[in-house]
Structure 1
Amino acid sequence: MFAHLFRHFKGNKPKDLPEPDEKLALGALLVRVAKSDHNYNVREIRRIDRIFQQLFGLNVVAAAKMRATCERLEEHAPHMDVFSEMIREGVDFDERLGALEAMWQVALADGAERPEELAVVDRAKHALGLSEADNALARASAVRQLDEQG
């Protein structure tokens, strides 16, 4: 289904990395948001792991392994639009909105709104085909999640 999106990986992607699916694409986007300010910290890493546990029913170890794979995918990805397009084409509206909410959770996980992270989230919003109203809804939901979970 996503073969046309991976032409950008040819020659870049190490052979031991899996072909990304919607889950790995979301994970790579979350890592990209967290790394965009050049301060990939423990709070962001924990938030990504928690998102994987909640969304995909993974245990702590499996979530950490998935994050490690996503970190490597993100490192070799040409640009985030590839992953956003995978999500847009592969999942319904509610799941795309959930993906944007997860990105907001990561962007806000360290308690600071950094312009670089906000720019990545905004670009992903457009690539996911979501509106400003969708963005506001996703951000508000992310803030509630962060407040509830600490």
Structure 2
Amino acid sequence: MKRFVIICGIAVAVATLFYMTREEWFSFMVIGRLPFTGIILPAAMMMGFWMIIVPACIIWAKSISVTFWNSIEMLGRFDQRRINRQFRLAARTHHAATQQVSLAMVATWLAITQRYLTQADATTKADDQSTARLAVATN
């Protein structure tokens, strides 16, 4: 779709320019008068011009087209690299945030476990003391 829009835009621009300067271009192609001047080229020079320009245009048209679309592809690759870089940076930021959350969860778990172990240890000591008192009382 982009390619079609670009080609249509170029065609409209060329048609507009040709319409505005059609008399000058027609005079150049038919009688060899240089556009926007009063200079008329000799017939031999016009023959040489057309013998050189037509094959050159055929050859250059293909190479210019290939070069143009290669440059468009290169710009697309640069844009894709930029997008990939943004995704990588976002993933790293997300990874760092996930690491911080994970560390916070581990710290919370350790604090709860430590508290539970402290309470369990205190309960065990109390049970040991009551068992010892019971043993002393029964003896």
TM over 0.5, yes or no? no
| TM-score normalised over the length of structure 1 | 0.20
| TM-score normalised over the length of structure 2 | 0.21
Query: Using CA pairs below 8 Å that are at least 6 residues apart, which structure has the higher relative contact order?
Result: 1
Higher helix share: 2
